[in-house]
C-alpha cells in the first residue's frame, strides 16, 4: 500500500508471511499476530515489549494482559517523557518497542483546531478565553505534527539514537479498518 502524501510505504499484515523476516520470532511479530490475525492469546507473567501510541480513544489493541507496557500520549510524542520508556527498558528488560501513529490524528494540523479547543476549555473547564488561548499557544506548537507516518518514523530514529540496542518499529493504526501496518 503506497500513500502518495508520504515517502513511506505501509506493509499490510494480513498473514504471517507478510511479517518482515527480521521481525519473526519477536514480540513485534506477536503484536501483529494478536492484533491483525487474531492469534490465540498466550499467558504472560512479564511484559514482552513496550508500545508507544496516541491517547486517541478510537484505538484499542487486541493483545493479552501483561503482554506490553503501553505509553499513551497525544500524537504518540514522548519527548520529555522518555523516563517512562527508560523504566520499561531498564526495569523490565524491554528490547522491542512499537511506535504506533494512527490515521486521522487530532495532532495533525492542530492549529486549525484552535477555536474548538479554546471554546471547549471555556465551556468544560471553566477557563477564561485568555487562559485557554495562552494554554493552546504554549503547547500546540510542541504537539502539532504534519504527517503521522513521517512523524513516527522520525521519532523512531530519534529514540534509536538514545537507545541504540533497542528495536523500534514504526507502525500506523488505520482507524478505518482497525489494523496495524508497519511503516517502511
What CATH number corresponds to the domain at position 84?
Answer: 3.40.1050.10
Give the tens place of pLDDT for each residue, 83-117: 999 999 999 999 999 999 999 999 999 999 999 99
In a domain, 1, yes or no: no
What is the model's pTM?
Answer: 0.92
Total domain count, the chain:
2
Its domain, for residue 136, covers: 109-144
14 and 40 part of one domain: yes
Phi, psi of 82, rounded to the nearest 5 degrees: -60, -25
101 and 136 part of one domain: no
- Partners of 72 in the β-ladder: 53
Give the tens place of pLDDT for each residue, 50-63: 999 999 999 999 99
159 and 129 part of one domain: no
35 and 116 part of one domain: no
The arithmetic mean of pLDDT across residues 124-141, rounded, is 97
Residue 70: which of 84, 58, 81 has the closest Cα? Answer: 84
pLDDT band at 7 (very low <50, low <70, confident <90, very high): confident
pLDDT band at 6 (very low <50, low <70, confident <90, very high): low
122 and 166 part of one domain: no
- The rounded distance, in Å, linking the Cα atoms of 115 and 67 is 40
Residue whose entry in the numeric block shows the C-alpha cell 511479517: 19
In a domain, 32, yes or no: yes
Q: What's the whole-number average pLDDT of the chain?
A: 95
The arithmetic mean of pLDDT across residues 155-163, rounded, is 97
Query: According to DSSP H, which parts of 38-110 are helical?
Result: 82-92
- The rounded distance, in Å, linking the Cα atoms of 100 and 97 is 9
152 and 139 part of one domain: no
138 and 161 part of one domain: no
In a domain, 91, yes or no: yes
Amino acid at each position: 500500500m503506497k500513500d502518495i502524501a508520504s515517502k513511506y510505504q505501509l506493509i499490510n499484515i494480513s498473514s504471517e508471511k507478510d511479517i518482515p523476516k527480521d521481525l519473526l520470532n519477536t514480540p513485534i511479530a506477536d503484536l501483529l499476530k494478536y492484533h491483525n490475525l487474531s492469534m490465540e492469546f498466550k499467558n504472560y507473567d512479564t511484559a514482552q515489549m513496550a508500545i508507544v501510541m496516541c491517547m486517541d480513544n478510537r484505538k484499542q489493541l487486541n493483545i493479552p494482559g501483561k503482554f506490553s507496557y503501553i505509553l499513551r500520549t497525544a500524537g504518540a510524542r514522548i519527548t520529555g517523557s522518555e523516563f517512562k520508556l527508560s523504566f520499561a527498558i531498564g526495569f523490565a528488560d524491554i528490547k522491542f518497542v512499537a511506535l504506533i501513529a494512527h490515521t486521522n490524528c487530532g495532532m495533525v494540523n492542530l492549529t486549525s483546531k484552535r477555536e474548538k479547543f479554546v471554546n471547549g476549555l471555556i465551556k468544560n473547564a471553566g477557563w477564561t478565553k485568555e487562559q485557554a488561548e495562552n494554554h493552546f499557544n504554549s503547547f500546540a506548537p510542541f504537539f502539532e505534527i504534519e504527517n503521522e507516518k513521517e512523524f513516527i518514523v522520525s521519532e523512531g530514529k530519534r529514540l534509536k539514537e538514545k537507545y541504540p540496542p533497542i528495536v523500534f518499529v514504526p507502525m500506523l493504526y488505520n482507524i478505518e479498518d482497525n489494523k496495524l501496518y508497519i511503516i517502511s
